[in-house]
Amino acid sequence: MAENKEKTTIVLFSGELDKAIAAFIIANGAAAYDHEVTIFFTFWGLNALRKDDQVFVKKGFLEKMFAKMMPRGANKLGLSKMNFGGIGPQMIKHVMKKHNALSLPQLIELAQEQGVKLVACTMTMDLLGLQKEELLDGIEYAGVAAYLGDATDAKVNLFI
């Protein structure tokens, strides 16, 4: 990778559909403008990376509880506003389809195709009991040091 590429980093901390969509629209936009883009998924943001299907891995009691209570994958996230027990996300998905906007799973796929680096924060994976087998293929694993290395070189750094 050339040294003179613009860099963009996003920390996706939030586990909500609307915020994840915003993060991926900015990331895909930046990648289309030839930025080197990294999204760091931490805390609830990790839920956007979970596979749709349940993956059977050994877990302790609290880890099982977290796994159960947290949404499994991009299709199951709620909204930060007007969630209304899941009706809000359906409304948003409906209007997005109507306007031919990409869905969150499609945005994630496009990001991977465009070479956006998706990095899961290993420290919060440990805390929430999430294991690599449960997350999407083709992502990377790192901690805060790697994030800071990328962010220090980047022009645009966002925390979402």
> What residues make contact with a copy of itself under the rule CB under 8 A?
6, 8, 11, 13-15, 18-19, 22, 25-26, 29-30, 33, 35, 42-44, 62-63, 65-66, 69-70, 80-82, 91-92, 94-96, 99, 101, 123, 126-129, 144-145, 147-148, 151-160
Q: How far is the CB of 114 from a copy of itself (least distance, A)?
A: 14
Q: Which is nearer to a copy of itself, 139 or 160 (CB)?
A: 160
CA dihedral of residues 67, 70, 8, 26 (deg, nearest 10): 140
The residue type of 103 is S
Q: What share of the chain is helix, strand, coil (3-state, %, to 5)?
A: 50, 15, 35
Q: Phi and psi at residue 127, in whole multiples of 5°?
A: -60, -45
Q: How far is the CB of 118 from a copy of itself (least distance, A)?
A: 18
**CB-nearer residue toward a copy of itself: 4 or 137:** 4
At residue 132, φ and ψ (nearest 5 deg) are -55, -35
Tokens of 9: 């980093």
Q: How far is the CB of 34 from a copy of itself (least distance, A)?
A: 11
In the complex, the smallest distance separating the C-beta of residue 10 from a copy of itself, rounded to whole angstroms, is: 8
Query: Angle 4-13-139 (CA atoms, 0-180°, nearest 5)?
Result: 60
Kindly state the DSSP code that residue 133 receives in the 8-state scheme: G
Nearest Cα to 69, choosing from 129, 133, 115? 129
> 31 or 138: whose CB is closer to a copy of itself?
31
By beta-carbon proximity to a copy of itself, the closer residue of 83 and 112 is 83
Q: Which is nearer to a copy of itself, 55 or 96 (CB)?
A: 96
